[in-house]
């Protein structure tokens, strides 16, 4: 089968997969009163390194740095993270998840029910093949420009 046909067959499947995954993630986040952006920030802070400059967080969730101020304000007010001045460079403020924030992140991850069930239902060879394909795709998909 030609490359073009393979891609054409995969494209709509990938689109549906991404849409369904996001719905599941958003549902888990909203169940705890978090917006999509807030959940992304929190989960970013709960994968090592657990303290990150606000600037770095903006880069990771792909938004302008000025937005992080307000997002951090709201999450700090609810006790899920705190600001810490970096002693080495006093311009920089790191965001750090509080114990409450860490616990919430764990809950959100656990409550992606459909994603977890779908992945758990794969056979071992299917899971292995899926992991291999994703690992093959990511370098190209995560290329910068």
Binding of DNA at residue 53 (CB under 7 A)?
yes
State in angstroms the smallest separation of the CB of 25 from a second copy. Answer: 8
Q: How far apart are the first and last CA of the chain?
A: 30
Round to whole Å and give the CA distance between 85 and 53.
Answer: 9
Q: Restricting to residues 88-117, which ones interact with DNA according to CB under 7 A? A: 89-94
Indicate which single residue of 13, 66, 89, 90 sits in contact with a second copy (rule: CB under 8 A).
13
Round to whole Å and give the CA distance between 55 and 93.
Answer: 9
Binding of a second copy at residue 32 (CB under 8 A)?
no
Binding of DNA at residue 71 (CB under 7 A)?
yes
Strands (E), 20-137: 51-53, 81-85, 93-97
Sheet holding 51-53, edge to edge: 51-53, 93-97, 81-85
Round to whole Å and give the CA distance between 84 and 5.
Answer: 52
Indicate which single residue of 64, 121, 124, 142 sits in contact with DNA (rule: CB under 7 A).
64
Residue 110: contacted member of a second copy, DNA, none (CB under 5 to 8 Å, by partner type): none
* Residues forming the site for DNA (CB under 7 A): 35-38, 53-55, 61-74, 83, 89-94
């Amino acid at each position: 089968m030609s490359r073009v046909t393979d891609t054409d067959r995969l494209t709509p499947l990938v689109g549906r997969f991404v849409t369904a995954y996001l719905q599941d993630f958003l549902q888990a986040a909203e169940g705890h009163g978090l917006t999509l952006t807030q959940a992304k920030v929190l989960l970013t802070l709960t994968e090592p390194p657990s303290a990150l400059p606000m600037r770095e967080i903006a880069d990771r969730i792909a938004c302008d740095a000025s937005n992080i101020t307000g997002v951090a304000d709201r999450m700090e007010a609810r006790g899920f993270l705190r600001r810490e001045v970096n002693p080495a460079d006093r311009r920089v403020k790191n965001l750090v998840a509080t114990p409450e924030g860490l616990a919430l992140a764990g809950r959100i991850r656990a409550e992606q029910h459909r994603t977890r069930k779908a992945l758990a239902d794969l056979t071992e060879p299917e899971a292995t093949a899926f992991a291999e394909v994703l690992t093959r795709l990511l370098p190209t998909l995560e290329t910068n420009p």
